[in-house]
Chains A and B, each alone.
Chain A
């Protein structure tokens, strides 16, 4: 449904296209916003989790008696206490609620405890005695692939499989395991309702799917479980899967008391899925002019112990393995392996990040082999509306301004080329390692493409309800606000559609409205926004019809110059409209990966300027310029916020963020050694928003959350290559990767 509104309503501030301040901003600034961490209930108990210290082991026995003996403990539950389905899972319910006979990853939950306070619960959890027989963990994804321990294999074949090009470049690339590391850890409160049911308030990206899994594992009727959106301190994919949700409800129903749980940071690192580490083998064929003739790729991502969203991440990685370029001969083979490494799943970018690093490195290799400017090479191959996606053959029907992205990047001014003298502006910063004479500057470019919305035939929809009350337009939705500004933009849409100034967004629970789908895949503005626009538009039409008018504003309903119904009368009628918005349908792929697999696409490009100290291998990301295909920026400031935030995560993956595994055990599950970029690591960012009409999102909007994270890492890697001449075939880049052989 393509929707545009021609003239905006006069006299209404905070409409689509403006940047009104977020409605929860002051609350958050004053520390008054209630996060799941802050929830409280009378007679509340605290929960804690017993976790496996081994990546792979048989459970020989679980002795809960010592824990029950701790004063103040109300319950210690194991797998035997799960009344319903023993397993849960977002796509495949393969993960035990509590491990039964075997543990398959370091940190896997084995038992849960409820006690009078947090400290007692943790001490009791430590008192549970679990006897394990350790087994040899499978931690090498290539070994897993060989022995067919895979969650999914993908085969994409399009075009003439015998095609070859005059120029061939090959490469092997690796992407390390990044973590979403939202500042708010997993937290929740489950409150039994006294009739065998429960209300759950927990950090989440998708309450309806949480509710379904709780219902299944608790063996309850759907009406007995209500999942409420709760205040959340960031997500980035870490809150899509269930983690403490079922545990909390189990404990609450078992004890008859409300139970709260908050994961500590180190526990959080084991408590959620991570970005899939990847190994990628590529071969690009091109003609003498640099036009892609054929791309062959093998994509191996390690899903860890349980399925989570590995199947979908693998698919995404394979579908975007070529990048935003035309190519009529494509072969991609992918595998998402099952190992005893920590489970991996959704993280912003969802597979496209990993392949982008590889395909952009390949394009630069090709450009170097042909002695063609890297951006010119990309321009010659740029994918556009009307082209088929190179992997799936799907015709692109919405705008895809790849060439405009390239041209915009070129037009953005370069920073002052002189290297600063102040140490704070040099690699090493206040560590004083580097003088300006030690610095080499490099510039690199990268483009990326991402799907928006869910794919492969998934029934992707969102429901929203809009009513007009005394407080103004009220948008009711189960769509989760994770910080991205959905609550702001849905209100903007309601204001624009109805023509009223006051609009507020209310989260309601799963019993009060149908699903809004997940806050992920850059989809909420388009899908929940679409539902809100539809509901608000229908409501306006209904109000005008009911009161016999032709115009609605803050005063009420007007017919020509007469006010035929003052607003008080309109709100007293209590009218509301509900809409369920679905994007254009997609299909599952055929056996060669072909089909109308995706709902929409967005392209973005990044230019990174880095200063490198090659002798020490230290990198400073000076500046990142970006041009992004946004369809229509409904709230330009919020879009900029998503871009700057996403780029920062791209910087993290490029040079500092990695979970280090040692035989399945995470060596750095804390903020001392899992390094998130600080304010002193932030580059200057300039963003250009490319708006082209044609997408089906409200007012032509496209999702914006993921593209900034996708090609920013690749651009930084390219810039480091330019500065140092080093091949940089893995991210994150470590100092020793830049120093190379001279490190001894």
Chain B
């Protein structure tokens, strides 16, 4: 089936083989590899995207269901340059293997969109659905605490 939706500020029509998830559609049909698949059940946040203004796990969204919706992926967050959330993480040493990183970028970008100065607890609660296995979260928290101070 063909779906039409707004992806990273661009209107697109694309064929998707149902009943695949938005995650699979992004990676397999649309060639956007930034969003990662790590658990297939919404338990790790690596596949986080913004759907109609809210952060969701794209592995739990049926691609066909985004007809007429707005989707932003890590590629959209980055745009042509670097988003402040990305700069903050880079400078804080918050990236190791990087597999969780796009999901965290998306979730954090949405957080800072809502709230420019989140407290440490607000940062942690917002990222509670993003698992990182490498960093122990210390540098990630420091990155966003620093950004919240700006």
Contact = CB atoms under 8 A, between A and B. Distances in A.
B78 interface: yes
Interface in B73-116: 73-75, 78, 82, 86, 89-91, 93, 95-102, 105
B95 A265 contact: no
A184 interface: yes
A30 interface: yes
Contacts of A647: 136
A693 interface: no
A233 interface: yes
A182 B38 CA distance: 9
B134 A37 contact: no
B135 A645 contact: yes
B133 A183 contact: yes
B127 interface: yes
Given A424-B124, A682-B136, 12 more contacts: A19-B93, A31-B78, A31-B105, A182-B133, A233-B98, A265-B39, A637-B93, A640-B93, A641-B93, A641-B134, A644-B139, A647-B136
Interface of A: 19, 21-22, 24-35, 37-38, 118-119, 181-185, 232-234, 236, 262, 264-265, 422, 424, 430, 482-485, 637-638, 640-641, 643-649, 670-672, 676, 678-680, 682, 685
A532 B11 CA distance: 49
B22 to A, nearest CB: 15
| Interchain residue pairs A-B with the least CB separation, the first 3 | A31-B34, A483-B97, A28-B98
Q: Give the one of A31, A34, A641, A643 with max B CB within 10 A.
A: A31
Q: Give the one of B28, B41, B98, B128 with max A CB within 10 A.
A: B98
B90 A646 contact: no
B98 A638 contact: no
Given A31-B73, A679-B140, A184 B102 contact: no
Nearest to B123: A679
B130 interface: yes
B74 A184 contact: no
A26 B82 CA distance: 8
Given A29-B78, A647-B136, A672 B41 contact: yes
Contacts of B46: 183
Contacts of B138: 640-641, 644, 682, 685
Nearest to B90: A25
B35 interface: yes
29 contacts: A19-B93, A21-B90, A21-B93, A26-B90, A29-B102, A30-B82, A31-B32, A31-B102, A38-B33, A119-B17, A183-B44, A232-B97, A234-B133, A265-B38, A424-B125, A482-B97, A483-B98, A484-B134, A637-B139, A641-B138, A644-B137, A646-B136, A648-B135, A648-B136, A671-B41, A678-B130, A678-B131, A679-B132, A685-B136
Contacts of A682: 136-138, 141
A185 B73 contact: no
Given A233-B97, A645-B136, A671-B44, A31 B131 contact: no
A19 B139 CA distance: 13
Interface in B26-40: 27-28, 32-40
B43 interface: yes
A39 B101 CA distance: 18
Contacts of B32: 31
B82 A670 contact: no
Contacts of B150: none
B82 A22 contact: no
B41 A183 contact: no
A541 B121 CA distance: 54
A676 B131 contact: yes
Given A483-B134, A645-B96, A680-B125, A184 B38 contact: yes
Interface string B9-29: 000000001000000000110
Nearest to B141: A679
Contacts of A643: 136
A251 B28 CA distance: 21
A484 B136 CA distance: 12
Contacts of A184: 36, 38, 97, 99
Given A485-B96, A637-B93, A671-B131, A31 B33 contact: yes
A679 B133 CA distance: 10
Contacts of A27: 98
Contacts of B82: 26, 29-30
A645 B97 CA distance: 11
A676 B35 contact: no
Contacts of B73: 31
Contacts of B43: 670-672
Contacts of A233: 36, 38, 97-99
Contact of A31 (B37, B74, B129, B135): B74
Nearest to B81: A30
A32 B135 contact: no
A641 B41 CA distance: 28
Given A671-B44, A676-B133, A422 B121 contact: yes
Contacts of B89: 25, 29
A259 B140 CA distance: 36
A30 B93 contact: no
A398 to B, nearest CB: 27
A42 B74 CA distance: 25
Given A21-B91, A29-B78, A484 B96 contact: yes
Contacts of A236: 133
A118 B131 CA distance: 26
A181 B99 contact: no
Nearest to A482: B97
A33 B78 CA distance: 13
Given A26-B90, A29-B105, A678 B128 contact: yes
Contacts of A644: 135-139
B128 A641 contact: no
Contact of B78 (A19, A30, A234): A30
Contact of B86 (A29, A181, A638): A29
B36 A29 contact: no
B93 A22 contact: yes
Contacts of A640: 93, 138-139
Contact of B34 (A22, A25, A30, A483): A30
Contacts of B93: 19, 21-22, 637-638, 640-641
A25 B82 CA distance: 12
A60 B143 CA distance: 57
A645 B86 contact: no
A645 B138 CA distance: 8
Contact of A679 (B44, B101, B128): B128
A313 to B, nearest CB: 21
Nearest to A670: B41
B107 to A, nearest CB: 10
A35 B99 contact: yes
A25 B98 CA distance: 8
A484 B41 CA distance: 27
Contacts of B105: 29, 31
A648 B140 CA distance: 13
A703 to B, nearest CB: 16
Nearest to B126: A679
A471 B71 CA distance: 38
A35 B99 CA distance: 8
A711 to B, nearest CB: 15
Nearest to A675: B43
Nearest to B74: A31
Contact of B74 (A19, A30, A483, A685): A30
Contacts of B129: 678
A671 B100 CA distance: 14
Nearest to A182: B133
A23 B88 CA distance: 15
